[in-house]
């Protein structure tokens, strides 16, 4: 009778299953991607806002102006809606404090003397009727003037702020003469041009939305990376 030693060998066993501890942890690439998104997005939002405000400042500087009472001629190349702004010391944004006679005053920077001076606040922006506003078209016809119903205001320069008081339609190209016969405040100025406030609002809104989207993208990505790396240790 013959026998074989191979019959006494134990059956082969399967290789051991790798433990959860041995699993490879996710890399930190998610953190880097979140950081890059945050830096690029927030930088782009800042530049968007800065460039937009700078462009709006240039447009404010380019408005046609005249002292009140007085008149200014605006050259229109394409049909457009034109706004008339009232600039004065009372429109300037500044700290408000009671004066000695209990009236409200506003402080402003005077570029001429390079000092801060106190001026009486106008309180309420005058209407175009109070200013005696009148617009004459290229052919000498009177152009209808309407009250600007929305709120359009700019305050980008120290000592210069304006609020839209009227609007008119420039239906044909040519020179439009805008005159104001009455003044409700000393050293007031009439500024005529397009809608400055709309572009300023759109710039700020766009930069804010871009910054918000950046945060809502970068933060969840960083959190998801942290949670994935933490699960490999549990």
- pLDDT tens-digit series, residues 210-234: 999 999 999 999 898 888 888 776 5
**Residue 209: helix, strand or coil by DSSP?**
helix
Average pLDDT over residues 18-28: 63
Percentage of residues in the chain having pLDDT higher than 90? 38
Nearest-angstrom CA–CA distance, 35 and 31? 6
To 10 degrees, the CA torsion angle through 176, 182, 183, 189? 10
Closest by CA position to 121, among listed 140, 137, 103, 139: 103
Average pLDDT over residues 110-117: 46
- The confidence score (pLDDT) of residue 9 equals 62
Burial grade of 27 (CB within 10 A; 0-12, 13-18, 19 or more): exposed
Q: At 104, is the pLDDT very low, low, confident or very high (cuts 50, 70, 90)? A: very low
pLDDT digits (tens, 9 = 90+) for 51-96: 888 887 888 888 999 999 999 999 999 999 999 999 887 776 443 3
Which residues in 54-86 are b (16+ Cβ under 10 Å) and which e? eebeebbeebebbebeebbebebeeeeebbbbb
Dihedral class, residue 132 (left if φ above 0, else alpha if ψ from -120 to 50, else beta): left
Cα Rg for the chain, rounded, in angstroms? 34
Higher pLDDT, 196 or 142: 142
Beta-bridge partners for 120: 105
Q: At 12, is the pLDDT very low, low, confident or very high (cuts 50, 70, 90)? A: low
Cα dist from 234 to 21, 71, 95, 228, whole Å? 8, 78, 58, 11
- The confidence score (pLDDT) of residue 84 equals 94
């Amino acid at each position: 009778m013959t026998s074989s030693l191979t019959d006494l060998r134990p059956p082969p066993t399967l290789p051991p299953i790798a433990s959860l501890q041995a699993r490879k942890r996710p890399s930190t690439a998610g953190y880097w991607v979140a950081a890059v998104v945050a830096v690029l997005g927030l930088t782009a939002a800042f530049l968007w806002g800065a460039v937009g405000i700078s462009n709006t400042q240039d447009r404010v500087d380019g408005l046609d102006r005249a002292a009140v009472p007085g008149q200014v001629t605006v050259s229109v190349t394409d049909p457009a809606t034109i706004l008339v702004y009232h600039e004065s010391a009372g429109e300037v944004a500044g700290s408000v404090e009671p004066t000695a006679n209990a009236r409200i005053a506003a402080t402003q920077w005077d570029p001429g003397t390079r000092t801060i001076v106190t001026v009486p606040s106008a309180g309420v922006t005058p209407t175009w009727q109070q200013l005696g506003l009148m617009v004459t078209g290229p052919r000498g016809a009177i152009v209808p003037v309407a009250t600007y119903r929305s709120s359009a205001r700019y305050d980008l320069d120290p000592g210069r702020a304006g609020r839209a008081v009227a609007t008119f339609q420039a239906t044909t190209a040519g020179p439009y003469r805008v005159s104001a016969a009455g003044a409700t405040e000393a050293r007031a100025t009439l500024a005529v041009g397009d809608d400055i406030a709309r572009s300023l609002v759109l710039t700020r809104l766009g930069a804010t939305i871009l910054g918000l989207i950046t945060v809502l993208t970068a933060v969840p990505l960083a959190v998801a990376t942290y949670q994935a790396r933490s699960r490999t240790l549990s």
